[in-house]
Amino acid sequence: MAEKIRLATASLAGCFGCHMSLLDIDERFLELVELVEFDRSPFTDIKTIGECDLGIIEGGVANEENVEVLREFRKHCKVLVAMGACAINGGIPAMRNQFELRECLEESYIDGVGVVNPHIPDDPEIPMLLNKVHPIYEVVKVDYFLPGCPPSADAIWTFLTELLAGEPISFPYTQIHYD
Amino acid sequence: MSENKAFTLDAKPIEFQDGDTIMDAALRAGAYIPHLCHNPEFEPHGSCRVCVVGVNGRRVSACTQPATEGLEVENNSEAIKQERRALLQMLFVEGNHVCPGCEKSGACQLQAVAYYVGMLDPHFTHFFPRRLVDASHAEVAIDFNRCILCELCVRASCDVDKKNVFSISGRGIGSHLVINSPSGKLGDSDFSVNDKAAQVCPVGAILHKHTGYDRPIGERLYDRQPISVVGDVAEHEGKDHG
C-alpha cells in the first residue's frame, strides 16, 4: 500500500468555521484517514509541523505568530492551500484594515461601550498585531484556493478527493461561492 | 427584402440589425457575454471592460463595438476568460468586497460574473480603501465600499428619473461616486426608493433597507444556476423588491 499523504492544517486569523466544515464531511472522514496521516493540526493538537505533502490554511494573517506559522507551513508543505474567505482575501478580520490599528484597539479597550479598567493589552505573551490583516498569498506562495465562508463540506471533499487522486480540480457550480 | 446580416460569436452565427452593437445582437440571440456596466436599457458605457471580446486580433468591448457583417468574435476562449478574470480581480481588490458580510451576496452581479469566469482568488494586492456608508436616507443605504463605478445609477438618475442625484467625482484611481445634495448625503437629496436608479445597482452599493437577507442561502438569485442562465441582477430587481 502506498504511503499515506501527510496533511497539516492550521487556523490563523479565522474562526475555525472552515475546520468545522472539514469535519462536516462526516463519515467521509473515515475514507480520508485511509488516505492521509494528520500532522500538525487542531485535530491532532500536534504543535510543530513535520515534512508534509499538503498544508491547508484557514484564516488570514493578522499578527506576528500568524506570519511565523504560515512561513513554517510553506517551508514544510509541498502543496499549500488557502481555505476559506479569510485566507483568500482577509475576510471579516480584514474589515479593520480601513482603520488605523490604534483606532481599533482604542475602540475595543479604551472607548468601547461597557469597557471597565480601560487598558490596551500589552502582555508580552500576546502576539503583536500587524498594522493590516493580509490574505495569505500576500505573505507566501499559495498553490490552491478554496473559496467560501466556509467552503461547504462537499466543496472540501471535491477538492481533497480530486487532489489526492492527482486529477485536475474542478467544482460543480453550486460548490463555489464567496460567502 | 434584404438578407439577414450576421457575425459569428465563437463560430456561432449571430444575426444583427442596423445600429446593433455586438452586445445588443448577442443579448437578443440569447448568447451570454459577461458584463457589469452594461444594461440594455441605457446607453452603453464601455467602462468595466468585462465584456472584452477578440475581434480581428484586437480587444474591444462588446457593448460599444458596432456589429458588422462577417465579424469573427472570440468570446469564450481561455485567453479572453483569463483577461476577464484579471479585470474582476482588480475590481475586487480596489474596493472592500466582503461577501460574507454583504446582504447582496448571492444576488450580486460582480460575484456572479466572477463565478462565471472561474475566479478563485483576488491575486492582486488589496487596496483596503477607507470608504464610508451613507445610511441617511429612510429607504435606501449606500455602501461606497462596494461601488464599482459602473455609473448605472448615474445614468438612470439622469436619463430616466431626471434627478441627477449621482455623479462621479475625481480622476483615475481617485474616482468615486458622490451624491448631488447640499450635504453630500443621500437623505438630503430628492432620491426615492421608486427611482430607476434604485433598481439598477449590480453590486451591494445601493441597498434597499428593510429587505436584507430575505432570501435564504440556497434560494438566492445565483445560488443554483450561473448568470449566463439567470441573467442580470437588474432584470430581477423589480420582482425582488415588489
Q: What DSSP string describes A122-153?
A: --TTSPPEEEEEE-GGGTS--SEEE-SSSPPH
**Neighbour order of strands in the sheet with B52-55:** B12-16, B5-9, B72-74, B52-55, B58-61
Residue B26: inside a domain = yes
Residues B100 and B214 in one domain: yes
Name chain A contacts of B145, Cβ cutoff 8 Å. 98
The alpha carbon of B137 is separated from its chain's Cα centroid by a whole number of angstroms, namely 23
Residues B91 and B189 in one domain: yes
Are B98 and A94 inside 8 Å of each other by CB? yes
Count A/B contacts: CB-CB distance under 8 Å: 74
| Cross-chain CB nearest to B226 (options A146, A147, A173) | A173
Residues B92 and B57 in one domain: no
DSSP characters for A12-68? Answer: SBS-SHHHHHHHTTTTHHHHHHHHEEE-SBTTTTB-S--SEEEEEEESBEEEHHHHH
In B17-117, DSSP assigns E strands to: 52-55, 58-61, 72-74
Structurally, how many domains does chain B consist of? 2
Residues B39 and B98 in one domain: no
pLDDT score, position B184: 97
**Residue whose cell numbers read 484586437:** B58
Name chain A contacts of B125, Cβ cutoff 8 Å. 138
Instruction: Give the ipTM.
Output: 0.94
Q: How far is B174 from chain A (nearest CA, A)?
A: 16
- Hey, is the C-beta of B129 within 8 angstroms of any chain A C-beta? yes
For residue A121, the 8-state DSSP code is -
What the block records as the C-alpha cell of B150 is: 459602473
pLDDT tens for each residue of chain A, 179 residues long: 568 999 999 999 999 999 999 999 999 999 999 999 999 999 999 999 999 999 999 999 999 999 999 999 999 999 999 999 999 999 999 999 999 999 999 999 999 999 999 999 999 999 999 999 999 999 999 999 999 999 999 999 999 999 999 999 999 999 999 99
pLDDT tens for each residue of chain B, 242 residues long: 456 899 999 999 999 999 999 999 999 999 999 999 999 999 999 999 999 999 988 999 999 999 999 999 999 999 999 999 999 999 999 999 999 999 999 999 999 999 999 999 999 999 999 999 999 999 999 999 999 999 999 999 999 999 999 999 999 989 999 999 999 999 999 999 999 999 999 999 999 999 989 999 999 999 999 999 999 999 987 665 43
Residue B146: inside a domain = yes
Residues B131 and B63 in one domain: no
Residue B158: inside a domain = yes
pLDDT score, position A118: 96
Q: B49 is in which domain, residue-wise?
A: 5-76
Residue B228: inside a domain = no
Query: A5-95+131-175 adopts what CATH topology?
Result: Rossmann fold (3.40.50)
| Cross-chain CB nearest to B98 (options A92, A145, A146) | A92
- Tell me the domain boundaries of chain A: 5-95+131-175
What the block records as the C-alpha cell of B101 is: 458580510
Q: What is the pTM of this model?
A: 0.95
| Cross-chain CB nearest to B125 (options A138, A142, A147) | A138
Residues B44 and B150 in one domain: no
- Hey, is the C-beta of A85 within 8 angstroms of any chain B C-beta? yes
CATH number at residue B116: 3.30.70.20
